[in-house]
A and B are shown apart, each in its own frame.
Chain A
Amino acid sequence: MLRDITIGQYYQAESPLHRMDPRTKLVGTLVYLVSLFIFRNVGAFAVATLFLILMVKASTVPFSYIMRGMKSIITILLITVVFNMFLTPGNPLVSFGKFAITDEGLKMAIFTAVRLIYLIIGTSLLTLTTTPNQLTDGLESLMNPLRFFKAPVHEIAMMMSIALRFIPILMDETDKIMRAQAARGADFEHGNLIERAKSLVPILVPLFVSAFRRANDLAMAMEARCYRGGDGRTKMKPLKYIHLDYVTFAVLAVYFVGVIVAGEMSPI
């Protein structure tokens, strides 16, 4: 049940997107997200769709694999759609007593849903094509100016990288603990809110104990391999812009202008 979450998981492949500098991808993702929120019309979304299809193709990650990550947000998605549909003022299309689906609401719901889905696919593409280490390297490098204000940039990046590495392990562990407690007759599905919250104790306590044990082990293993903070470290994969990155920046600029033009000119 917990195995379906693909957000934060790397998909091994050799593609232009995999080869790209993580900074380019981070900036690209940011530009893409901003572009999704400037306009809310067919024209802008058409350009965004085109760009997304291009990127998914370029990543060589199977589309079905990307979509698996959607399962985890389907509830949020449904709630947003329903709220938007019923609570937006406009001309009612169908009404159920006090509530009504309005034309504005329907439009809003569709656009919000599309925006959310694109947002998830876009960010999934980033994490699927970038190893968490590259990702943190990219963030570390982009955040480097903050060091001037005494921000612990390297430490934050290392913490993120470790968190990402242990997400799948802790997921598996949670699954196992849940099964083990269920084997002792534990029930996580029935009862009122308080009872259900209580039923989480037998899962959370062992999970925390295990996380602390792992943290302890890992800290020892890192020290044994001479880790002592960011100073004096070299990089196995130093970040370096290649030809592909400059091309991508150009494509991004064209895309951003394209969205603005299409958005301004779009009839609906």
Chain B
Amino acid sequence: MGIVETKDLVFEYIRRDEEGNVEGITRAVDKVNIDIKKGDFVAILGGNGSGKSTLAKHINAILYPTEGKVMVDGKDTSAFENTWSIRQTAGMVFQNPDNQIIGNVVEEDVGFGPENMGIPTEQIWERVEEALKTVDMYKYRKHSPNKLSGGQKQRVAIAGVVAMHPKCIILDESTAMLDPSGRHEVIRAARALNQVEGVTVILITHYMEEVVFANKVIVMSKGKVAMQGTPREIFSNVDKLRELRLDVPQATVLAWHLENDGLINKKGVLDKKELIAALKERKTMGATVSDSVIAKAEASLAEQQGAEVEHKSLSEEKPLLILDHVDYVYSKGTADEIHALNDVSITINKGEFIGLIGHTGSGKSTLVQHLNGLTKATGGHIYFNGEDIYEKGYDMRKLRSHVGLVFQYPEHQLFEETVFKDVCFGPKNMGLSEKEIELSAYAALKAVKLPDEYFYASPFELSGGQKRRVAIAGVLAMKPDILVLDEPTAGLDPQGRDEILGLVKDLHDEQGITVILVSHSMEDVADYVNRILVVNDGKIMMDGEPHDVFAYKEDLEKMGLAAPNVSYIMQDLKDTGFKVGTNVTTVAEARVEILRSFRENA
């Protein structure tokens, strides 16, 4: 028998009105049967609302089944007397790093679980030391958790569970709020636990690339198990994954295209290495590709590029916002003086679609807060439409309506009773007439494609993605010339991310709004923007078109960034003797390049 087993598990959320009458029932988990063996590394994949987190909370006896059964290490979770031993057997790490750390010092937090279990003092210390060493956080044991990065906080949270000596550890979307390096740290720690300590790991995520290491993958959709198997089995079914709106790694998609083109015959390619090996094998066999196949790939590439050319033509040589040698220094003159921005000069032209890229702490968020005057530079000048915004008497509020800034997790600022009222907040502050306010709020909500029936709903009743749209509409309602979005896709699943990015693209293409998209992910922005600014240590390191920027792979890596995965594939192919161009940023381009190289072979 496995360590975690569910039998026809059903869970229903019951919503009640104020009198306690049942208003509606949502079936979050629907007849799920899973069986996880001791020592397994299992990944549970799925979009938001697929029921994956609800399932996870059953394994830790935080939720109890409406119907069916959950057995953990042979114990039934619905029996109350088992609760504490189950929670000790199957430890859980949650999504938000801040909201699960109880202690004010790292080691005290890790000791919290053993304290609750009644472990004698000397043994608590042994467990804490061992747990912190397992996740490589021992040297931070005396630190305050508030000063750690997201990835470090999650590793502390993992240590907090490890110190309870569980047989199984569940990571419930623990990587969703982290940046790429934080995600790597957490996955590395989880793998070490699995391989070295033999702890069963259940990883719940919506990032496909994290499941490659698992020996079993369970894909959930609408409360049911949609697919189940080894990563290779799952990855060979790209059609189904796309249908479920999951993010398939670029190497897998590229391999899938090439397989459909008849070039390779390996199914379920997991990574770059496997793809290159498959291509090499075909090359030595002397495989060729017919012109008609190449023409088909070229056509699909042209279709994608057509859209790009269209929005490139929108930008004019008309400077809208100019940053002239801008400096920003925190706590000047003290020991912890930080040079957050260092001699930044940028010109932003009307109609541009800019990607502002930098890792966490690079200064990109500080930079965007200068654009609308929220933070005042300690040196240099900023001109909007030719006027110096630091000039005495300059109307800052007006500037803020021209340069709309959407913060990270903007849905956390919603406060009104209805969606419509909330969106009216911006235009109201601009002193417009009642009629103008309502017209612009209505137009903004239409622009973010929120269905009409939600206009008078409370913003707190909407789903995560809908809330974010409302928050974006709240800024759009001020009719900005420039829209700045700080990590607009943070914490969203792949489907939500694509929807928000698509929406931003439409705003740029259809309404002619100049867009600045702040992100730490190159792959996310490569498909959309026509200019990239790379920020590191408060300085602008690169400024140019995506192709030109991505050519500097090594420099990007030194800054904790990376070019899209395909450009690495092409580089490696070239290094192993393929005649391919490396100036490639999208899968469609890579596909054409590879196919062409096989024609030249013939």
Contacts and interface: CB of A to CB of B under 8 A. Distances in A.
Interface of A: 10, 12, 62, 64, 131-133, 161-162, 164-165, 168-169, 173, 176-177, 179-187, 201-202, 205-206, 209-210, 213-214, 217-218, 220-228, 232-238
A165 B62 contact: no
Nearest to B427: A185
A133 B103 contact: yes
A109 to B, nearest CB: 30
Given A184-B475, A202-B425, A226 B121 contact: no
Interface string B397-419: 10011001101001011110000
Interface residues of B, number: 64
Contacts of B405: 180, 183
Contact of A180 (B104, B334, B410): B410
B576 interface: no
B102 A165 contact: yes
B397 A133 contact: no
A234 B96 contact: no
Nearest to A186: B429
Contacts of B412: 173, 176-177, 180, 206, 209-210
Given A184-B400, A206-B415, A214-B98, A131 B112 contact: no
Nearest to B105: A131
Given A214-B98, A217-B94, A218-B100, A228 B475 contact: no
Interface in B452-474: 460, 474
B142 interface: yes
Interface of B: 60, 62, 84, 87-88, 91-92, 94, 96, 98-105, 107-108, 111-121, 124-125, 128, 142-144, 146, 160-161, 164, 334-335, 369, 372, 374, 397, 400-401, 404-405, 407, 410, 412-415, 425-426, 429-430, 460, 474-475, 478
A224 B92 contact: yes
Given A183-B404, A235-B121, A218 B91 contact: no
Given A176-B412, A180-B413, 18 more contacts: A10-B104, A132-B104, A133-B105, A161-B104, A179-B374, A182-B374, A185-B430, A209-B415, A217-B100, A221-B99, A221-B100, A223-B62, A224-B92, A225-B113, A227-B112, A234-B118, A234-B121, A238-B121
Contact of A236 (B62, B87, B114, B146): B114
Given A165-B102, A169-B146, A185-B401, A237 B372 contact: no
Contacts of A133: 103-105, 108
Contact of A205 (B87, B96, B119, B415): B415
Contacts of A233: 115-116, 118
Contact of A224 (B62, B429, B478): B62
Contacts of B372: 183
B334 A64 contact: yes
Contact of B115 (A183, A210, A213, A235): A235
B146 A184 contact: no
A185 B535 CA distance: 28
Contact of B161 (A162, A225, A228): A225
10 contacts: A173-B412, A179-B407, A180-B405, A183-B400, A185-B401, A185-B426, A226-B84, A228-B116, A234-B114, A236-B108
A237 B99 CA distance: 23
Nearest to A158: B102
Contacts of A12: 142-144
Contacts of A206: 412-415
Given A12-B144, A161-B104, A224 B118 contact: no
A183 B94 contact: no
A225 B116 contact: yes
B102 A224 contact: no
B124 to A, nearest CB: 4
Given A176-B407, A182-B400, A225-B160, A169 B98 contact: yes
Contact of A202 (B94, B118, B125, B415): B415
A131 B107 CA distance: 12
Given A131-B108, A225-B116, A236 B397 contact: no
Name the residue in A10, A131, A162, A187 with the highest tally of chain B Cβ atoms < 10 Å from its Cβ.
A131
Nearest to B411: A206
A29 B430 CA distance: 52
A237 B104 contact: no
A232 B297 CA distance: 68
A226 B164 contact: yes
A180 B407 contact: yes
B374 A184 contact: no
Contacts of B100: 217-218, 221
Given A133-B104, A217-B94, A223 B415 contact: no
B415 A201 contact: yes
A39 B193 CA distance: 62
Contacts of B474: 184
Instruction: Give 3 closest A-B pairs by Cβ, nearest first.
Output: A185-B429, A236-B111, A217-B99
A225 B84 CA distance: 9
A223 B87 contact: yes
Given A179-B407, A184-B475, A185-B397, A236 B121 contact: yes
